[in-house]
Amino acid sequence: MGEQAELRLSLNELRALLRRSYEALYHHGYDFAVMARSCLWLEAHGLDGIGLILRSLPDLETPCRDIVLTEPQQGHFHIDGRGRCLIPFVNASADLAIAAAQKDGFGQVDIVNIFGRLNIFATLKKAAYLNLYAAAIWYDGTEGRTHVMWLKSSRTLPDYFNMDKAVDGPWGRSGLRYVCATNPERVEKNVMAVLSEDIAPFKTASQLAAAYETALDEGIVVSGDAYKTLNKIADRLLVPSTDESRRGAGE
């Protein structure tokens, strides 16, 4: 079997496919609509959301999760992901920091023992929508790279920094920190503890915006194999047709 030809999907089409895929994986056990939007956000901004899902599939296919949430200090949350993929609970995790920021001006979530961390970036859009400042920071021990996505003042999109060096932090080698604030300085303080002064963004907010505009205009190219894999998952939702089910629904 050779590779399937690639397809160009509209954003809406891809979102619908992702929704059905997540719904098929978890039925209504997780917020499948927001999970789909997060993946679409990454994909539409050129950040390979589909690749992230495909790489995480073995974990995503195992629904039972035993994640531990604690709040050692008010507004500072700690989540132990027990080695699981972040995707199913990424939005609920970001909610904690966002809610704390809205309530007390600052919120922080440290998540350890997880993978699929790229997905946290998609949650920054919610912070932007709520006029908050936010950043996500993590060190990938496998790649030896540190990733920072920083939503600065008056921006609807973050700048994405990707550094070829290790920066130790409470996130360890397989975790992340997400900070959110009503005041830009507190977020900046966290970010500048990691970023070098002179580093240029790997992708600027403008580049991310341009990627989105192209995706909106032309759609997103998805490999035939990825399309087939996602559809195969999504199709688990389909119910076989019977004479009874056809009756009364049209002619």
Partner 1 sequence: MGAKAQTSDAVEAAMRPAHIVMDVERLGSLYPYPLSFMRSLLRRVMREKWQITPAIFDLCDEGYGTAVYEVVTPNALFSYVIFAKELDAAARSDRVIAQDWDMTVTLCEGRVDEARLAELKANVPLQENGRVDASCFVLSRANKSVRNFEAVVSALSQGRQPDLDAMARVGYLYRTTAVYGSGKFGMANWKKVKTRWADFASPFFAEMFSCWMIRHFSLVQVDHVAAKRNPETSVKMDERIKRYVGIGNATGLGMAPYLINHPRLINNWIWVRETALARVVTDGAVDDVSRGNFDCFALKAMQHLDEISTDNEEQNRLNANARADLERLMSWFKKTKITSWRDVACFAQDNLTIEAQELINALLLELHPDLIMDLEDSLSVNEVYSLEGGMRAGDLKALIETHYDWALQIDFSDPKRQDMFWYRSEEKMEPRLGRRFEEPGAGSEMLLGIGWYVRECYNELCAYVEANGPDMMTARFAFEYPEHRYITRRMQTMAKTRYGEIRINAIDAEVLPIQLLRCKLSFFGVGKFDPRSRMWVRNTMFQGAPLVSDIGGDFGDTWCFPIRPSLS
Q: Compute the least distance from the CB of residue 166 to partner 1, in Å.
A: 30
Q: Compute the least distance from the CB of residue 66 to partner 1, in Å.
A: 13
Supply the DSSP symbol for 196: -
Q: Which of residues 191-220 bind partner 1 (CB under 8 A)?
A: 216-219
| Long-range contact pairs involving 171-174 (C-beta distance under 8 Å, separation at least 24) | 171/110, 171/111, 171/112, 171/137, 171/138, 171/139, 172/112, 172/113, 172/139, 172/141, 173/139, 173/140, 173/141, 174/83, 174/112, 174/113, 174/114, 174/115, 174/141
Q: Compute the least distance from the CB of residue 94 to partner 1, in Å.
A: 9
Interface region with partner 1, contact rule CB under 8 A, candidates 23-31, 132-140, 191-199, 222-230: 23-31
Identify whether the C-beta of residue 183 lies closer than 8 Å to the C-beta of residue 110: no
Rule CB under 8 A: is residue 227 a binding residue for partner 1? no
Instruction: Please tell me the distance from the alpha carbon of residue 79 to that of residue 251, in angstroms, as a whole number.
Output: 54
Q: Compute the least distance from the CB of residue 168 to partner 1, in Å.
A: 27
Interface region with partner 1, contact rule CB under 8 A, candidates 87-95, 131-139, 140-148, 149-157: 87-95
Rule CB under 8 A: is residue 106 a binding residue for partner 1? no
Instruction: Please tell me the distance from the alpha carbon of residue 202 to that of residue 60, in angstroms, as a whole number.
Output: 29
Closest to partner 1 by CB, 48 vs 95, is 95
SS3 130: coil
Rule CB under 8 A: is residue 221 a binding residue for partner 1? no
Residue 55, classified by CB atoms within 10 Å of its CB into exposed (0-12), middle (13-18) or buried (19+), is: middle
Closest to partner 1 by CB, 31 vs 140, is 31
Q: Compute the least distance from the CB of residue 13 to partner 1, in Å.
A: 5
Rule CB under 8 A: is residue 190 a binding residue for partner 1? no
SS3 131: coil
Rule CB under 8 A: is residue 161 a binding residue for partner 1? no
Supply the DSSP symbol for 159: E
**DSSP H or E run through 208:** helix 205-218
Rule CB under 8 A: is residue 239 a binding residue for partner 1? yes
Rule CB under 8 A: is residue 91 a binding residue for partner 1? yes
Per CB under 8 A, residues contacting partner 1 are 7-13, 23-24, 27-34, 69, 88-89, 91-93, 95-96, 98-100, 102-103, 126, 129-130, 216-219, 235-242, 244-246, 248-251
